[in-house]
Structure 1
């Protein structure tokens, strides 16, 4: 499928003209950070786009337990989860979240990682849809019959802790940490108990918040290019995105796909894994 026919981002106005198209399937990829007391399933029942299917990134994850709590599922696990959700292979999936842009990028990245290209993110998410006059519905979602999603192949856009450790010596890739600065260079134990402060040695800091508006829309391409340049980076740089738990790093991966037509890799374990291991080095810039 041509990437021209499946853009990584679509607008609310674009989706309003296609919301009733049988080829278009909408996914609600909302999640909330631990400690907020908010429930994504309850949020889905309270406010969602018409026909949206709830996609729980905490459930569509690696079966093996352990830190970090959310990891990329295997191809067989991903196919099983999508079959259980009743998703049909070949449709154009549009994923959004209630924040504007937060966990929707993680859903997009998982589809791309498993070889599926017909996946787009709603730019600005639910706030943009609401501002465009789109209908908001509530109540329990429809139970969909099980399907048979085929097992795909993993793409190249993921890194594990061993690859990040080895990269400390080679410097072949540039780790870009998208957490807010106070987390990049400070204590995150309130979000991740037992995890050390700091960041991966040599990591470049670029907050994912700076890539988007307050509503959650991506900045124009030229402004994102300028932000990268301020950090000594470009769209062609060999970037690996990292964050707190592997969710918002996918926002940078999505941004790179917008700029260059291909995602950048994501360190799936991110700081929750790296900072939780005493055998891996950390860095504090003060």
Structure 2
């Protein structure tokens, strides 16, 4: 089979089944569970995965060491070293999925985009969609694979820190969109992490990530466009936030599918903002 070229940031289970044996395709399981779930994503990957899928641990292994906030984006050299150990090279075509449909996989899509790798897509519907179409799964330890050669090329426009975001809060050409549930956004439901204030950033708007999905799949592009048009102008830079920088990436991917161009994720998200008292909260 000839080398593959990924032309969309979202692929279907049928597309992946057709191209699974492409020589430059690498499938990544990026399943992650919220703290307190008592589920072990890596253990579940060993028990059931798309054939050949490698586990991408953005919570501990491919994250900034000793960061004060969860799963912060690592330095480019760290990222390159870790993905090379997964057999990923600059020429690799990457499909990322998770076991919950669409939840944590967009985080890894965003990480690769931030590191300058555009040939990456998310599996729409994730592992449930793969199984629903009757495709096989495998279990046990993965087969051996060769080391990759990956050179990260950091794209600063994809990520922002708290101090920089503070300077943009009241800028007309920027709109902050918060992916948390509306009750958390408005402060009527307490935050799950201790020491984190309730509420939202001044001038931010609520766009819960679940409004962009149906049955574990993204809404059609036209409907996504309507969702973003309702909360932002077409030419605004969109900055996405959530609880800890995971579901914000669902918004980022949905915005790209909707045709938006200036997309940025606040990596520390509310875990950082709500716990840092110099940052204002409404």
Give your verdict on TM over 0.5.
yes
1:39 aligns with 2:40: yes
Segments of 5+ residues of structure 2 without an aligned counterpart are none
SS of alignment partner, residue 21 of structure 1: coil
* Aligned counterparts, 1:65-80, within 5 A: 65-80=66-81
Indicate the residue corresponding to 1:140 in structure 2: 141
User: Offset of 1:228 from its aligned partner?
Assistant: 2.2
Contact residue 177 and residue 204 of structure 2 kept, 8 A: yes
1:102-159 deviation per Cα after TM superposition (whole angstroms, max 9, x unaligned): 1100000000111101101111111111111111111122343433322323341111
User: Offset of 1:25 from its aligned partner?
Assistant: 1.1
User: Offset of 1:189 from its aligned partner?
Assistant: 3.3
Structure 2 distance, partners of 1:129, 1:263, is 31
Residues 171 and 262 of structure 1, relative CA distance in 2, 3 Å threshold: closer
1:60 aligns with 2:59: no
Indicate the residue corresponding to 2:247 in structure 1: 248
Contact residue 225 and residue 255 of structure 2 kept, 8 A: no
Contact residue 254 and residue 263 of structure 1 kept, 8 A: no
Question: Normalised by the size of structure 1, how large is the TM-score?
Answer: 0.91
Indicate the residue corresponding to 1:219 in structure 2: 219
Contact residue 177 and residue 205 of structure 1 kept, 8 A: yes
SS of alignment partner, residue 87 of structure 2: coil
Residues 49 and 234 of structure 1, relative CA distance in 2, 3 Å threshold: farther
SS of alignment partner, residue 121 of structure 1: strand
Question: Normalised by the size of structure 2, how large is the TM-score?
Answer: 0.92
User: Offset of 1:275 from its aligned partner?
Assistant: 0.2
1:177 aligns with 2:178: yes
Residues 239 and 107 of structure 1, relative CA distance in 2, 3 Å threshold: same
* Aligned counterparts, 1:1-286, within 5 A: 5-58=6-59, 59-63=61-65, 65-186=66-187, 187-190=189-192, 192-214=193-215, 216-231=216-231, 233-260=232-259, 262=261, 264-283=263-282
SS of alignment partner, residue 258 of structure 2: helix
User: Offset of 1:169 from its aligned partner?
Assistant: 4.1
1:76-112 deviation per Cα after TM superposition (whole angstroms, max 9, x unaligned): 1111111222223201110000011111000000001
SS of alignment partner, residue 260 of structure 1: coil
Structure 2 distance, partners of 1:202, 1:119, is 32
Residues 130 and 174 of structure 1, relative CA distance in 2, 3 Å threshold: same
User: Offset of 1:263 from its aligned partner?
Assistant: 6.0
Judge which range, 257-266 or 173-182, deviates more.
257-266
Residues 169 and 257 of structure 1, relative CA distance in 2, 3 Å threshold: closer
Structure 1 distance, partners of 2:136, 2:105, is 19
Contact residue 94 and residue 120 of structure 1 kept, 8 A: yes
Segments of 5+ residues of structure 1 without an aligned counterpart are none
Structure 2 distance, partners of 1:237, 1:171, is 8
Measured on the aligned residues, the alpha-carbon RMSD in Å equals: 1.7
Structure 2 distance, partners of 1:195, 1:261, is 31
Equivalent residue pairs, number: 276
Contact residue 222 and residue 258 of structure 2 kept, 8 A: no
Residues 5 and 26 of structure 1, relative CA distance in 2, 3 Å threshold: closer
Structure 2 distance, partners of 1:248, 1:102, is 7
Contact residue 115 and residue 155 of structure 1 kept, 8 A: no
Structure 2 distance, partners of 1:25, 1:86, is 8
